[in-house]
């Protein structure tokens, strides 16, 4: 039995016996209280709040590099996955001293917002106690807010698309990016889609990145016109087309981080993949709170190159001309 499964079983047992007393996580000098750890967050899977907090602590070394210095748009589900939850941006006066924050102007809110920055395991536990099941960081850091560290394409299927079509779409992107000379990485969304990342090294403004992502999405849609589209409107694209979302490449946009849990039935994780895994037989439900720790221990982090040396967009465009 791996450590993740053992911890999960212990937490599930506590929930079944009615153990809802608060628990304390001690990390260095920080003490973080996890209230009501026996509260069921995933009813179909018998996963509790305490198990969610345990998962993030066990995975913190893998997750934190993708959160470091990035403003967080917090989605809170304090009553579990079947509660619609709410988004929370301001850190507020109650945030403990170990929680780093960054005040930024929000155009949508038309005011300054004090964003939480999750740079350590203590902050991770604090966010879990707030009811954050998933983690949604910006694509850029506070050191260079206008220049993202990676390009992101969200392959977002509609109701009638099959996952085989999602896989074909991802592999078509891979072929295009290979031809361009651009290294790329893939992960599950933790729901029904896939995410493709291309490292940029914070060399380009968001507008330049969005334009290149739009170019790539247009090329893929030309290859797969029967079931892909760049049409954002649900009513216009219908329920038979995969949306190739290039608009993720804008300042302030967020998406589930690598290794983040998702508030979905199955307690699924947004799991980094090797490209050789992106083939028929793969299913997003294969990666969950119960097996992700063992997978990383066995195979390592497939995604670390995302934060490495960036591509040369002009050279990529020249290679595709």
Q: Can you give the pLDDT at residue 111?
A: 86
DSSP 138: B
Q: Is the pLDDT of residue 5 over 50?
A: no
| Residue 303: pLDDT over 50 | yes
DSSP secondary structure string for all residues of 162-182: -HHHHHHHHHHHHHHHHHHT-
| 167 contacts 280 by C-beta, under 8 angstroms | yes
159 and 274, same structural domain?
Answer: yes
Residue ending a domain, choose from 99, 130, 161 = 130
What is the average pLDDT across 165-181?
Answer: 98
User: What DSSP character marks residue 285?
Assistant: G
**β-strand partners of 87:** 75
Residue 292: predicted pLDDT: 98
* Percentage, residues of the chain above pLDDT 90: 84
Q: What is the pLDDT of residue 20?
A: 64
244 shares its domain with 121: no
Spell out where 190-292 has E strands.
194-199, 228-229, 242-245, 272-273
CATH number of the domain that residue 193 is part of: 3.90.920.10
Contact by Cβ (8 Å): 145, 152: no
**Residue 15: is its pLDDT beyond 60?**
no
pLDDT in tens, 140-162: 999 999 999 999 999 999 999 99
- Last residue within a domain, chosen from 82, 101, 130: 130
Domain co-membership, 160 together with 209: yes
**Could you tell me if 191 and 301 lie in one domain?**
yes
Q: Based on the fold, state whether residues 196 and 265 are members of the same structural domain.
A: yes
Q: Which DSSP state fits 265?
A: T
Q: Please, which pLDDT band fits residue 189 given cuts at 50, 70 and 90?
A: very high
CA distance 180 to 319: 5
* For residue 266, pLDDT beyond 60: yes
> Residue 26: pLDDT above 90?
yes
Gap between the Cα atoms of 257 and 271, Å rounded: 9
Give pTM, 2 decimals: 0.91
Domain that holds residue 73: 3-130
Q: Is residue 140 part of a domain?
A: no
pLDDT at position 17: 33
92 and 224 part of one domain: no
Residues 110 and 205 in one domain: no
Q: Can you tell me which residue has the tokens 């992502």?
A: 213
Cβ density class 58-67: b for 16+ within 10 Å, e for less: bbbebbbebb
CA dihedral (39, 287, 262, 264) in degrees, to 10, reads -70
CB within 8 Å of 26: residues ≥ 6 apart:
32
Where does the pLDDT of residue 97 fall: very low under 50, low under 70, confident under 90, or very high at 90 and above? Answer: very high
Same domain, 165 and 280: yes
**289 in a structural domain:** yes
Q: Residue 145 domain-assigned?
A: no
Calpha distance 258→284 (Å, rounded): 13
Distances (CA, A) of 144 to 55, 111, 133, 209: 30, 20, 27, 14
How far is CA 37 from its chain centroid? 23
> Same structural domain for residues 119 and 239?
no
pLDDT of residue 2: 39
Please state the domain count of the chain.
2
Report if residue 141 sits inside a domain.
Answer: no
Decide if pLDDT at 93 tops 80: no
> 52: phi > 0 → left, psi -120 to 50 → alpha, else beta; which?
alpha
Q: At what angle do helices 292-299 and 3-16 cross, to 10 degrees?
A: 170
Domain match, 76 and 158 both: no
**Residues 282 and 171 both lie in one domain:** yes
Across 191-200, 204-213, 228-237, 242-251, least confident range: 228-237
Instruction: Output the average pLDDT for the chain.
Output: 92
Confidence check: pLDDT of 300 > 70: yes
């Amino acid at each position: 039995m791996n450590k993740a499964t053992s911890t999960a079983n212990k937490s599930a047992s506590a929930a079944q016996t009615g153990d809802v007393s608060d628990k304390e996580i001690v990390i260095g000098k920080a003490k973080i209280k996890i209230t009501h750890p026996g509260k069921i967050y995933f009813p179909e899977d018998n996963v509790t709040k305490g198990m969610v907090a345990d998962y993030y602590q066990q995975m913190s070394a893998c997750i934190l590099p993708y959160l470091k210095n990035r403003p967080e748009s917090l989605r809170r589900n304090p009553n579990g996955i079947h509660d619609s939850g709410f988004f929370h941006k301001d850190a507020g006066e109650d945030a403990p001293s170990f929680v780093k924050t960054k005040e930024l102007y929000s155009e949508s809110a038309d005011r300054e917002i004090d964003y939480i920055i999750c740079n350590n395991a203590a902050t991770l536990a604090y966010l879990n106690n707030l009811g954050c099941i998933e983690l949604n960081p910006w694509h850029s850091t506070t050191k260079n807010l206008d220049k993202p560290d990676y390009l992101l394409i969200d392959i977002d299927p509609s109701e009638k698309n099959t996952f085989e079509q999602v896989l074909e779409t991802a592999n078509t992107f891979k072929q295009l990016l290979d031809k361009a000379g651009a290294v790329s990485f893939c992960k599950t969304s933790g729901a029904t889609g896939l995410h493709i990342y291309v490292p940029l090294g914070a060399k380009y403004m968001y507008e330049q990145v969005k334009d290149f992502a739009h170019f790539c999405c247009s090329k893929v849609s030309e290859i797969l016109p029967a079931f892909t589209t760049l049409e954002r409107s649900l009513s216009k694209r219908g329920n038979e087309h995969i949306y190739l979302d290039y608009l993720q490449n804008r300042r302030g946009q967020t998406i589930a981080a690598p290794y983040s849990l998702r508030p979905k039935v199955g307690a699924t994780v947004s799991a980094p993949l090797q490209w050789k895994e992106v083939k028929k037989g793969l299913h997003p439900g294969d990666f969950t709170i119960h097996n992700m720790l063992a997978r990383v221990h066995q195979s390592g982090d497939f995604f670390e190159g995302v934060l490495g040396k960036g591509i040369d967009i002009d050279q990529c465009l020249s290679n595709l001309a």
